[in-house]
Amino acid sequence: MELVDSSLSVSEVNRLIKSKLQDSTEFKNIWVRGEISNHSQTNSSGHIYFSLKDTTSVIKCAFFSFQAKNYKGTPLRNGMEILVYGSVSVYEPGGYYSLTVQKIEEIGEGDILLKIEKLKKALLEKGIFDATHKRPLPKFPKRLGIVTSPKGAAVEDIIRIATDLNPSIQILVSPCLVQGDGAETSIIEAIREINDPKWEVDVIIAGRGGGSFEDLMAFNQEAVVMAYYNSRIPIISAVGHEIDRVLTDLAADATTPTPTAAAKLAIPNVSDTLIRLDEMEDRLKSALTNRIRVGKEKWMGVSTRPVFQNPKTMIESRSTQLDELMTKISLLGKNYLVRKQSEFQKFDFFSQNWKSYLERIHNKFTLAEQRLDHFSPLGTLKRGYSVLRNQKKQVISSIQNVSKNESLEVTLTDGKLLVEVKEKI
């Protein structure tokens, strides 16, 4: 049996499957609900392996130690129903796929996550997260607004980074609760207050310094999301988190993973800007100096030409050339007129010969017309003859060609007659 040139090795097939699955967005960052089975944990590495099953199917899961250490819920066990957040991956040497777990929520928390996903989908359909709504951040803001808790580390980090980057930046803090009862209303009121034109704020950083899933819930509420969306001033969402994006991230004009990163995004580094300005000034001076030097060289080259030294000489030479040219034109014009006059005289002689020729041709045509008229059928009709035709326009030359009661057409010199044969004699 001959090998097919297009055949694939086992490794190539597994590699294709891996690229298809892992490159597809449908299998990235998904929530999967199921029951734990085949649970095991390695003592040396701390990795957790288990299967997630429902009534008809099973999928292998890997919860690696650097993610598993963040799980603070009920210890995992067989038969436990959970929500798993992760992405599908392929183990190429073994030829199987599994779910690489990033986060696990017990079903009680999972119900909340499902509600958040439902709200996210509804807001997405309304266009709240559309990129067309997002505005560019000001390049050089004069006043920064901060919406966060005045007691947290986030506000201190933002102020420290902002003033380091631009010592002259003005900072206005609109304090609010960022978790617990009343946080939702407090965040909305703080954003509304900082948007008042009297404060002359150029850009807003709104968020907090991270926390657990429950701590971030205020930033997943629809009213808070809409407060970000409706902000008159460009707003940066800065809610510190590792895995999930809160919904305010999607509604804001820009988003960063931490308040510190938000300050770096909002405030340009004045030192770097001044250095660039100095470099631009040097380049501009150098360019202007070169431009002036080149201009001087061109002027010196032009000003030393004879036309600028003694312009009258150039005018006199051009005047002499003009006189010579006018004389040549005058002579050419006279010669042209004499030549054309001779040609017209030849034309008069030709015209007389042509007229005589046309008269001879006319006489010949007149004679031919008279002869043609004498022998034409119309001339015959004028002398009292007629032409007889049947209904098929065939000329009748014998009584054998007609039948009794047949209609015939008689053509005379001044018209036609329609007759009927009564009898053949």
Tell me the pLDDT tens digit for each residue of 129-187. Answer: 999 999 999 999 999 999 999 988 889 999 999 999 999 999 999 999 998 889 999 99
Burial 367-400 (b: 16+ CB within 10 A, else e): eeeeeeeeeeeeeeeeeeeeebeeeeeeebeeee
User: Which position has the token pair 């690696």?
Assistant: 64
According to the model, what pLDDT value does residue 378 have? Answer: 63
User: Which position has the token pair 């990795």?
Assistant: 47
CATH number at residue 31: 2.40.50.140
Residue 5 falls within a domain, yes or no?
no
CATH number at residue 182: 3.40.50.280
What is the C-alpha separation between 3 and 20, in angstroms, rounded? 26
Together in a domain, 88 and 190: no
According to the model, what pLDDT value does residue 1 have? Answer: 43
Together in a domain, 250 and 142: yes
Check whether 376 has a pLDDT greater than 70: no
According to the model, what pLDDT value does residue 312 have? Answer: 67
**Where a domain ends, among 241, 270, 299?**
270
Together in a domain, 113 and 164: no
According to the model, what pLDDT value does residue 373 have? Answer: 67
Together in a domain, 154 and 255: yes
According to the model, what pLDDT value does residue 145 have? Answer: 96
What is the C-alpha separation between 24 and 161, in angstroms, rounded? 38
Residue 299 falls within a domain, yes or no?
no
* Type of residue numbered 326: M
What is the C-alpha separation between 88 and 83, in angstroms, rounded? 15
Together in a domain, 212 and 187: yes
Residue 51 to residues 28, 45, 136, 152, Cα–Cα distance (Å): 18, 19, 46, 40
Strand order across the 407-412 sheet: 387-389, 407-412, 415-420
Local structure of residue 324 (DSSP, 8 states): H
Give the pLDDT band of residue 243 (cuts 50, 70, 90): low
What is the C-alpha separation between 213 and 115, in angstroms, rounded? 14
Q: What are 54-76's pLDDT values in tens digits?
A: 878 889 999 999 888 888 888 88
Together in a domain, 122 and 202: no
Together in a domain, 175 and 263: yes
Mean pLDDT, residues 376-402 = 75
According to the model, what pLDDT value does residue 214 have? Answer: 67
What is the C-alpha separation between 341 and 293, in angstroms, rounded? 65
Check whether 107 has a pLDDT greater than 50: yes
Give the pLDDT band of residue 306 (cuts 50, 70, 90): low
Residue 106 falls within a domain, yes or no?
yes
Structure tokens at 139: 């390049």
Q: What are 266-281's pLDDT values in tens digits?
A: 999 887 777 777 788 8
Structure tokens at 154: 């986030």
Above pLDDT 90, what percent of the chain?
34
Q: What are 176-225's pLDDT values in tens digits?
A: 999 888 999 999 999 999 999 999 999 999 999 877 666 788 999 999 99
β-partners of residue 175 are 148
**Where a domain ends, among 246, 270, 294?**
270
> 10 or 379: whose pLDDT is higher?
10
Residue 82 falls within a domain, yes or no?
yes
Above pLDDT 70, what percent of the chain?
86
Together in a domain, 106 and 156: no
Q: 200 Cβ partners below 8 Å, 6+ apart?
A: 142, 143
Residue 347 falls within a domain, yes or no?
no
Structure tokens at 199: 């404060």
What is the C-alpha separation between 241 and 179, in angstroms, rounded? 14
List the domain range (segments joined by +) for residue 396.
Answer: 380-420
Residue 398 falls within a domain, yes or no?
yes
Q: Could you give the number of structural domains in the chain?
A: 3
**Where a domain ends, among 82, 104, 126?**
126
Strand order across the 143-148 sheet: 170-175, 143-148, 203-208, 235-239, 254-256
Together in a domain, 140 and 262: yes
User: Which position has the token pair 């053949």?
Assistant: 424
Give the pLDDT band of residue 406 (cuts 50, 70, 90): confident
The pTM score is: 0.48
Q: What are 20-51's pLDDT values in tens digits?
A: 887 788 888 899 988 888 889 888 888 999 99
Residue 174 falls within a domain, yes or no?
yes
Give burial (CB, 10 Å; 0-12/13-18/19+) of 61: buried
Together in a domain, 181 and 65: no
Together in a domain, 154 and 256: yes
What is the C-alpha separation between 387 and 417, in angstroms, rounded? 10
Together in a domain, 152 and 238: yes
User: Which position has the token pair 């590495």?
Assistant: 45
- Bridge-based pairing of strands 170-175 and 96-106 is unpaired
Residue 31 falls within a domain, yes or no?
yes
